[in-house]
Amino acid sequence: MLDFRHATRARQGARSYQEDSSAIWPSEVARARPPASMMDDGLALIAVLADGMGGHIGGALASRTICTTFISALAIELGPVSERLKAALSAANGAVAERVAENASLMGMGATLVGAAFSTQGLEWVSVGDSPLYLIRRGEIARLNEDHSLAPMLDRMVADGRLSAQQAKSDPRRHYLRSAVSGEELDLIDISRRPLMLEDGDTIVVASDGIHTLDDAAIARLVTEHLADGPSTTAGALIGAVDRAGDALQDNTTVVVVAVEDLRSL
């Protein structure tokens, strides 16, 4: 039987406001007994993170609305986890549309979204935007979800010889989003095709794009070094490393760390 311990840490960075939001079920949203639909399919943990856009008010409101709606929708939906993830995403997108309809000054607000569901079947996810979902296993790191920014397209141009690596890295369009949860039709959605089986010692990191101040090798090293200390220490180490990098334009950074432990090995 797998156990999922988790911790969340966030920093505002160099920004004058915080547009990231995150939520965990059951500890942060569902305070009472979880709905029967949650229990019946073996769901043990849900983590959702949204990185807002649209300015101080709009981005923060969008990300909070998305996280709250996403988990609430999962609680009432029935059926396979993959279908419930899609329904929760649709509900979150609809909730943003409602906020904009109520207040036209919020037009253009939205957020990225990563929703990760941990169950007896493994890990399933849905995501929109560029916020990464990482698996760190035995010191190796893999990004599980697609990047819906322009970065992958620029990197392909480097591979094709149409851009230099430096041009791609410094291109001001690199972090432009090709898809976001904004109440409009969703252009790109990434959803897991099947549950990813997890192992004892695995660590899942859900993050906003502020984490990209660290490269993948640094993230893997920090997670591996602090694996035995638990997710709270690991999350703190990741945020601390971002802080120490001293980027003058550092974006908001939020990390949700989920440590997987097989109770049968104890």
CA dist., res. 203 & res. 5, Å (int): 10
* Region of residue 183 (phi > 0: left; psi between -120 and 50: alpha; otherwise: beta): left
pLDDT greater than 70 at residue 37: no
What pLDDT does 265 receive? 65
CA dist., res. 220 & res. 224, Å (int): 6
CATH number at residue 160: 3.60.40.10
User: Counting Cβ atoms within 10 Å, is residue 197 exposed (0-12), middle (13-18) or buried (19+)?
Assistant: exposed
CA dist., res. 129 & res. 113, Å (int): 7
Buried b (16+ CB within 10 A) or exposed e, 215-248: ebebbbbbbbebbeeebbebbbbbbebbeeeeee
pLDDT band for position 120 (50/70/90)?
A: confident
Contact 73, 83 (CB under 8 A): no
What pLDDT does 235 receive? 98
**Mean local confidence (pLDDT), 146-157:** 89
**Mean local confidence (pLDDT), 122-140:** 97
What pLDDT does 28 receive? 45
Q: Give the lowest-confidence range in 34-38, 191-195, 237-241.
A: 34-38
Which residue intervals of 41-199 are DSSP H helices? Answer: 55-76, 81-102, 151-159, 165-170
**Mean local confidence (pLDDT), 84-92:** 97
With a CB cutoff of 8 Å and minimum separation 6, the contacts of 247 are 13, 14, 213
CA dist., res. 54 & res. 115, Å (int): 21
Contact 11, 243 (CB under 8 A): yes
pLDDT greater than 60 at residue 234: yes
What pLDDT does 143 receive? 98
**Mean local confidence (pLDDT), 2-17:** 93
Comparing 121 with 69, the larger pLDDT belongs to: 69
Q: Quote the domain boundaries for residue 50.
A: 2-265
pLDDT band for position 212 (50/70/90)?
A: very high
CA 145 to chain centre: 9
**Count of domains for the chain:** 1
Say what the pTM is.
0.91
pLDDT greater than 90 at residue 224: yes
Average pLDDT over the chain reads 90
pLDDT greater than 80 at residue 216: yes
pLDDT greater than 50 at residue 29: no
What pLDDT does 161 receive? 84
